[in-house]
Amino acid sequence: MELKRVVVTGLGALTPLGNTVSEYWNGLVNGVSGAAPITRFDASKFKTQFACEVKGYDPEQYFDRKEARKMDLFTQFAVIVADEAVKDARLDDESLNKERIGVIWGSGIGGLRTFQEECVNFANGDGTPRFNPFFIPKMIADISAGHISIKYGFRGPNFVTVSACASATNALIDSFNYIRLGMVDVVVSGGSEAAVTEAGIGGFNALKALSERNDSPATASRPFDKERDGFVLGEGAAAIVLEEYEHAKARGAKIYAELIGGGMSADAYHITAPHPEGLGARNVMANALKDSGIRPEEVDYINVHGTSTPLGDVSEAKAIEYVFGDHAYNLNISSTKSMTGHLLGAAGAIEAVASILSIQHGVVPPTINHTTDDDQFNPKLNFTFNQAQQRDVKVAMSNTFGFGGHNTSVIFKKVTE
């Protein structure tokens, strides 16, 4: 069968750099750090006392108080960005066939704050089981997609993918496949995460995964820098409306870019560490290129996983050189996690938005906080250090890798007739 083309017709974002798509993009191109001391709880006794939190967030700006109490923060974030994307794509048109509009979301953890609060309340009680009646529906990761579909009446496929930090990109790939196979016309996809909690910070500290640069949070996320010491935890969400090309054209939808392919692979190596030679990363990028039907030389920009960890950054850089050969030195490479921190299951969503906007605006966001070269990286690689660079980005790739060895990659292209 002939596969259908899939395009992006709507965007939404709520990030540590800004609470709308335009604010987020402005922060990216200006190299703004979203890291600061934690405000959500007293972190003074933790090894890491900072994170990339969403700024100035007031749920009552978006929900009535009763409604907000039924949702964990990660679901609130999901509903907010979906609303921005739905309005951007004009999906609130009652003439659309809602039986053919789906919601496929991603979250690596789901309602961590809700789970933590309910367990603490029980432990501090007298042993009588008193739990919030919304405990389970607030906690489960799939509820985010459920809330979005209920709000808009979208009755197509509805589920959430869970693959740690690859979750949102997995959701995009599933959405892409449903549309190109002709099973639906539109999918609201993306991801959300809200893990800046005592359990989230404490758990990642125990893994020795987080930066402990408490004296300078804004410079703590420094991918590909010799002084990197771990990632910075972030929170937030992004939504991307994917739509069948002819369906979008027929209704006069704005088209940002075309999603032309996706790849998936497993390291099959270790529960938290990447393969030292980047084998899974090699395979996933090669799979994405094959699925897209393009040559490596056609890619202009890679928004890398680039978490600012000692092992992960090295393995990804090795994989890029292996897959792209000499063209690796013509690429722009950047890690926007240097600014947003690591949004875990939502990372792929906000980074896909960054990749799409790099195509639309002809600008590659920087990898900030670079001060010291690391001889583990080939100096011929262009990591777009410290300042955004102008470039006609025709094709952009976005990589996300997760604990458990899950690897995903998607490729976006400037739209042509």
Give me the active site residues, please.
165, 305, 342
Query: Residue 382 has what DSSP assignment?
Result: -
Distances (CA, A) of 348 to 97, 105, 167, 211, 237: 28, 11, 7, 21, 10
Q: At what angle do helices 21-29 and 347-361 cross, to 10 degrees?
A: 70
CA 403, CA 345: separation in Å to the nearest integer? 11
SS3 at position 186: strand
Q: Which two tokens stand for residue 283?
A: 């395979």
* Inter-axis angle of helices 310-324 and 279-292, nearest 10: 40
Q: Which positions ≥6 away from 286 have C-beta within 8 Å?
A: 263, 323
Rounded to whole angstroms, how far apart are CA atoms 124 and 103?
38
* Span between the terminal Cα atoms of the chain, in Å: 21
Tokens of 216: 């300078």
